[in-house]
Amino acid sequence: MCTVTFVARKKGYALGMNRDEQLARVVALPPSKKIINGCRILSPSEPGGGTWIALNDSGVTFALINWYSITARVNGETVSRGQVINAACTAKSPDTAIAAVGQLPLKQINPFRLIGVFPTIKKIVEWRWDLKRLVRQRHLWHDQQWISSGFDEPMAQRVRGRTFRNVLKQKSAGSLGWLRRLHRSHAPECGAFSTCMHRTDAITVSYTEIVLATRHAAMRYIRGAPCKASSATPACIGW
């Protein structure tokens, strides 16, 4: 259950991601700097080592959301979807990313959607795994959003998508303040379908923001629901 918002810029981009999880889920670790095969990586992580979002030193971001609209699940031993970004995170191009993901035991990984943002070539590529095929979809370099929900994915996509389209009409659209307001929004009402999600059994557990400019890259992270951000101290790292 997640919402990913991409903001296109002439030089660079901004991206915000709400991560929604069950209340019983183990608390994740804030972003840290890692070196993987000589590549610098910024990413938060699960205690077990997996992650849902990462930025590398080529300015490429990978974000992963569960694909709940595909109801099929792995039979037998399962490999965590958190390993998908670990495999792809050093890639500088779509081809190297898919080659790395293809080395994973995909038949042991439940359905997912992997979004890759490649600023050098101004391309956004999404890979969808449905337990049968890994399909590539290309997206244009413009403001857009991806939404998943284990509660009612089609409804969440309709409601959050409508909220996104409405706020795109605002004069501040595309600014960091606008992006942060969107990700802490309870429109049209606080609940399962608001961007900042609240249910009795699940909630938005973190907000991750990536900003890439010509000479600067940074990751900002808030643990907990972003609507409580005013009382939280963001973890910020970059280069």
Band the pLDDT of 158: cuts 50, 70, 90: very high
Per residue in 34-62, pLDDT (tens digit) is 999 999 999 999 999 999 999 999 999 99
* Domains recognised in the chain with CATH numbers: 2-238 (3.60.60.10)
This prediction has a pTM of 0.96
- What is the helix (H) or strand (E) element at residue 154, kind and residue range? helix 153-167
In this structure, which amino acid lies at residue 26?
V
Per residue in 73-97, pLDDT (tens digit) is 999 999 999 999 999 999 999 999 9
What are the start-end ranges of the E strands in the chain?
2-8, 13-22, 29-36, 39-45, 53-56, 61-66, 112-118, 123-129, 134-139, 144-148, 202-213, 216-223, 235-238
Task: For the sheet with 61-66, list strands across it.
Answer: 29-36, 39-45, 53-56, 61-66, 112-118, 123-129, 134-139
Closest CA to 98 of 142, 40, 137, 152: 137
Q: What is the three-class DSSP state of 106?
A: helix
> How far is residue 86's CA from residue 67's CA, in Å, rounded to a whole number?
18
Per residue in 193-218, pLDDT (tens digit) is 999 999 999 999 999 999 999 889 99
